[in-house]
Structure 1
């Protein structure tokens, strides 16, 4: 019996496959950034609360909006068999991203003593950039797992055929 395995795609093919994913991730991310900055700036200018608190509120609203975009557009073909696991991991990695992003706001405001709209938004841009890279790699690696590859499905079918072939022909009619 020969073992048949699909050839591994070249680096160029893998990069082409990822480029569509990166583009979709970027579109959802840009919507999230607009939501994040819009909400956080609206809250800070209407309530005059602490900058980090306003930034966290904007980030949380953006996380909720982004989940819908990632789940139902970017990663709609991912394995949704374990939605509870997916949501839990999404929230854990989103919380880490929230800490990264808002850590930059905290550092700028309380360590560098830079206040004002420009400093606030610049620190959000820097923090959001680093957090976005973290989120992209963690979401695609651990949260939105791809469906099993065709080669794996073919292996299951081949195994089932072997089992059926080993059955006693007297039972098969």
Structure 2
């Protein structure tokens, strides 16, 4: 395959991965915003804490989508490690996301429902870029590519026991060089002298 063809295949695979990641992320966004607004409207939980709780509900939904759809073909051997790293990077993403909401709410006093939703979405956008990089690099690792073993041809086949003898043909009409198998070594024959014939 040419270098350009290989690049096109890699870009196609990346585009599919981004699209699947985006679909799962969009579902997570809907869950996140819905839970945030329910908590803001019907509970007395402060804005940032409610947003953080909604983020963790969305993280759980996202894990299911990523593991069983977006990255279902990735390595599944270390589920404990995978889940630990997923939660670790999700917490970092939640800090980024909540940090934007915190700065808007307490730093600038922008805490109307519309402003809270806008900065929640901005925070999610920034955190999503971090999550995409960290999940695909560290959490849902690609399976190693199996390469066909390359057999090195010996320098002098005649020197190896049991190998064929190369016969070179100089005449192009006779075709390429042919390898003729060497004869099998003769089996050792043991003859016991008959004592009666002595």
For normalisation by structure 1, the TM-score amounts to 0.82
Note the residue ranges of structure 1 that are not aligned, 5 or more in a row.
Answer: 1-5, 160-173
Structure possessing the higher radius of gyration over alpha carbons: 2
Shift of 1:52: 0.5
User: Cα deviations across residues 97-116 of structure 1 (Å, max 9, x unaligned)?
Assistant: 00000001100000011111
| Aligned residue number for residue 76 of structure 1 | 72
1:60 and 2:56 are equivalent in the alignment: yes
Note the residue ranges of structure 2 that are not aligned, 5 or more in a row.
Answer: 152-198
Equivalent residue runs for 1:1-173 within 5 Å? 10-151=6-147, 154-155=148-149
Which structure shows the bigger proportion of residues in helix conformation? 1
Alpha-carbon RMSD across the aligned residues, in angstroms, is: 1.6
Measured in 1, the distance between the counterparts of 2:140 and 2:146 equals 18
Measured in 2, the distance between the counterparts of 1:86 and 1:61 equals 18
User: Cα deviations across residues 85-129 of structure 1 (Å, max 9, x unaligned)?
Assistant: 100110000000000000011000000111110110011011000
Count of residue pairs the alignment pairs up: 150
